[in-house]
A and B are shown apart, each in its own frame.
Chain A
Amino acid sequence: MTEIAAALAETAARILTGTGSRTEADVQAAFAEAGLDRPFSPGDELQWRDLAGVVLAIGRHDGPAALADAMAADAVVRAAGLRIDGRLTLAAGRLRRDADGRITGELPAVAGLDTALHVVTALAGEVIILDRDSLSMSAAHANLADEVRHDVTAKSVRPVALAAQSDDDPALIAGAAMRALLIAGAAERATATTLQYTAGRQQFDRPLDAFQAIQHNLARLAEETLAARAIALAAAYALGTPQAPVLVAAARVRTAKSARLVAEISHQCHGAMGFTHDYGLHRATRRLLAWRAEFGPPRQWSDALGGIIGSAGGDLWGLATGRRRRDS
């Protein structure tokens, strides 16, 4: 990780764990103060290489995914060459363009709508910015981790701005990459919590982590956590490059597996304690399972990756190395 990346991740972690961060609004305000809500602004020239660690930190400290969506929305706006002021959020869904060029459709489970002024989304290779006040929102609902989401309907809405993009759906891909990073961060939290618990809890006059069966479970937690981190970072670093569709799809498929295994194993190692509301493990594991299903559930991403494999004529190695075998 670059020096800048480490410093930014440190800043994010300080905000997320600080005493001034009681509510989501506090955290959001502190992120904005640190410039982390619009980090891709011209002049700083930051890349995902510098900022992916911030998203990992959000996941690691039980933070709200809305913070990551704001960052990703900023990245999509910037990559499209647009300038939009004010707080942003990101959405992906089913939209269509009406005959008069206006936009109609549904954007499910959007985060950050309490404060965002604009929704960044996409339709048929075009980035679309919609004014939040032009949209109708459902009553607030919650994901499995009790994060606030709104289902959004656009009815013949005139977009604030448009820009052509080559990516399949830059909003979907960016949002999906954020969920992979968040899952990797939450997996680190669940694993660290489990290591701490099994070191402290004694049974049969020994700490749990002195038992080989438990040690092997802890090893598997470390494996799944490192796997999630590696593929999520690889996907984030590839955003905006031709490799993004393959790597983001792979990251979502692989982190879905990690999320499930880390949640299962960390609860198993905690016994009944991890199952209580007072003990914090569920904050990480509920996030793992909630984020796993957002910006496309695992099935959608395995279908997408399966489709990519089919179009590549089964050239798995070409897809893995980014160089098709037959062309070389």
Chain B
Amino acid sequence: MLPSLDPIDLPADAEALRTEVRAFLDTHWRRPDPRLQAQSWQAIDRDFSRALGRAGYIGMTWPKAYGGGDRSAFERYVVIEELLAAGAPVGAHWIADRQSGPLLLRHGTEAQKRTILPGICAGETVFCIGMSEPGSGSDLASLRTRAERRGDRWVLNGQKVWTTNAAFADWMIALVRTSEPVGGRKHVGLSQLLVNMRAPGITVRPIQDMAGHRHFNEVFFQDVALPADALLGREGGGWAQVTAELALERSGPERFLTSLPLLTELAERADPAADGTYLAERLADLITLRTLSTAVAGELVAGRDPVVAAAIVKDLGATFEQGLILDAADRLGWDGRRAMASDNDPTEALIEGLVLSAPSFSLRGGTPEILRGIIAKGLGTGGRRA
């Protein structure tokens, strides 16, 4: 069945925050660093995260009892879209704010919520996500990291890879196998564990990416002992929990705003005769994506689960934010020369950073191949009639 979505207007109280966030950015992101802008929501600036925490912009929707702001999902939407549109460095708290915190709120113990969530809201506590493994990428359920129950502890062995921020994260939420697959159904027997990254037996090795960054890591677990309450949610319920978590990951403004600073650079310097049509097409894409993304946010607020629409936002969004980079660079007259560390043009640094990061835009959070499979399944293809 075709998904059906209606555009929404963001509520007035959420819109009212826009001016406030722009004023915050005028103070704390007055001179954007193009190297950080190019990394978008993977860019780390611990002080910037702390400043956001003080302003109440992290954990905005969480209860006040845990340090949150008790605000609406739409208010959070406005804050994050303004931060991302400016290319602000939100990487240190991004994962915790977007998905680990909400997971803990849903499945964590009262003690975990009280000890961990306030640190996230302050912009201090860093999370990473343990999903991919050397043999398990898109086929995530084939993972082999295993946790065994021994007495009142879990003992963890195995390896994760492509783990963003693992080198300095305080916590990881890991998807691991806790029992054998039943009848070849490998989605059964998976669980989520809350792993203290300071626990003995954990080794982290950074992986340098082609842009020169070390966001990625390999993480090794050797007989890592975890307390019984490290189990998040239901034992064996990990697959359903992760699927719900990935849906939260798919439709946000981070899926199409990554390279907006570069497009804006072009728009500000454009030659109307040569670039007008190109910019018009990109602005039309941008407005359409934002309309879709806010509508999906509205669906989530209403308690619905728009899996197909969310996958559509992610796929169209990645195509947009990835495709415009070289187009904009060409129109800005980029000559492909490596930017020098000293005294280089900020636009060149932004272009170079984005060009080198671009391949990841259609890999993280689900590849187009996987997303189109999810969409096709939702349409009822191949006899999968709903």
A314 touching B3, Cβ below 8 Å: no
B22 touching A325, Cβ below 8 Å: yes
A229 touching B4, Cβ below 8 Å: yes
* B interface secondary structure, majority: helix
Query: What residues on A are CB-neighbors of B382 within 8 Å?
Result: 207, 209-210, 215
Which 9 pairs of residues, A with B, have the shortest CB-CB distance? A306-B276, A314-B267, A215-B376, A314-B268, A305-B280, A219-B372, A219-B375, A253-B284, A209-B381
Q: How far is the CA of A78 from the CA of B223 in the complex (A)?
A: 75
Q: Is A299 an interface residue (CB 8 A)?
A: yes
Query: What residues on A are CB-neighbors of B269 within 8 Å?
Result: 314
Q: How large is the interface on B (under 10, 10 to 19, 20 to 34, 35 or more residues)?
A: 35 or more
Q: What is the CB-to-nearest-CB distance from A110 to chain B, in angstroms, rounded to a whole number?
A: 27
Q: How far is the CA of A301 from the CA of B281 in the complex (A)?
A: 10
Q: Is B283 an interface residue (CB 8 A)?
A: yes
Q: What is the CB-to-nearest-CB distance from B315 to chain A, in angstroms, rounded to a whole number?
A: 6
Q: Is B109 an interface residue (CB 8 A)?
A: no
B281 touching A222, Cβ below 8 Å: no
Give me 8 A-to-B residue pairs in the complex whose CB atoms sit less than 8 angstroms apart, sorted by A's number.
A220-B372, A231-B291, A246-B287, A253-B280, A307-B276, A310-B272, A314-B270, A316-B267
A328 touching B22, Cβ below 8 Å: yes
Which single member of A1, A207, A220, A231 contacts B6 (CB below 8 Å)?
A: A1
* A interface secondary structure, majority: helix
Query: What residues on B are CB-neighbors of A251 within 8 Å?
Result: 284
B267 touching A309, Cβ below 8 Å: yes
Which single member of A218, A219, A247, A306 contacts B280 (CB below 8 Å)?
A: A306
Q: Is B383 an interface residue (CB 8 A)?
A: yes
A231 touching B309, Cβ below 8 Å: no
Residues of A within 8 A of B (CB): 1, 188, 191-192, 195, 198-199, 207, 209-210, 212, 214-216, 218-220, 222-223, 225-227, 229-231, 233-234, 237, 246-247, 249-251, 253-254, 257, 299, 301-307, 309-310, 313-317, 319-321, 323, 325, 328
Which single member of B7, B308, B369, B372 contacts A230 (CB below 8 Å)?
A: B7
Chain B residue with Cβ nearest A214: B381
Binary per-residue interface labels of chain B (100-134) against chain A in the complex, 1 for a CB within 8 Å, 0 otherwise: 00000000000000000000000000000000000
Q: How far is the CA of A324 from the CA of B283 in the complex (A)?
A: 14
Q: What is the CB-to-nearest-CB distance from A13 to chain B, in angstroms, rounded to a whole number?
A: 14
Query: What residues on A are CB-neighbors of B264 within 8 Å?
Result: 314-317
Q: How far is the CA of A312 from the CA of B122 in the complex (A)?
A: 37
Q: Is B98 an interface residue (CB 8 A)?
A: no
Q: What is the CB-to-nearest-CB distance from A269 to chain B, in angstroms, rounded to a whole number?
A: 11
Since A219-B375, A306-B272 are in contact, a sample of 14 more A-B pairs with Cβ atoms closer than 8 Å, ordered by chain A residue number, is A222-B2, A223-B375, A226-B292, A229-B4, A230-B7, A246-B287, A247-B287, A254-B288, A302-B276, A305-B284, A307-B276, A320-B286, A320-B290, A328-B23
A310 touching B270, Cβ below 8 Å: yes
Q: What is the CB-to-nearest-CB distance from B235 to chain A, in angstroms, rounded to a whole number?
A: 34
Q: What is the CB-to-nearest-CB distance from B85 to chain A, in angstroms, rounded to a whole number?
A: 5
Query: What residues on B are CB-neighbors of A223 within 8 Å?
Result: 312, 315-316, 375
A299 touching B277, Cβ below 8 Å: yes
Q: Is B331 an interface residue (CB 8 A)?
A: no
Q: Is B295 an interface residue (CB 8 A)?
A: yes
B270 touching A307, Cβ below 8 Å: no
Q: Is B229 an interface residue (CB 8 A)?
A: no
B283 touching A195, Cβ below 8 Å: no
Query: What residues on B are CB-neighbors of A226 within 8 Å?
Result: 2-3, 5, 292, 309, 312
Chain B residue with Cβ nearest A236: B7
Which single member of A1, A199, A225, A303 contacts B277 (CB below 8 Å)?
A: A303
A210 touching B381, Cβ below 8 Å: yes
Chain A residue with Cβ nearest B20: A328
Q: What is the CB-to-nearest-CB distance from B362 to chain A, in angstroms, rounded to a whole number?
A: 14
A257 touching B281, Cβ below 8 Å: yes
A216 touching B7, Cβ below 8 Å: no
B379 touching A231, Cβ below 8 Å: no
Q: Is B227 an interface residue (CB 8 A)?
A: no
Which single member of B81, B260, B308, B383 contacts A207 (CB below 8 Å)?
A: B383
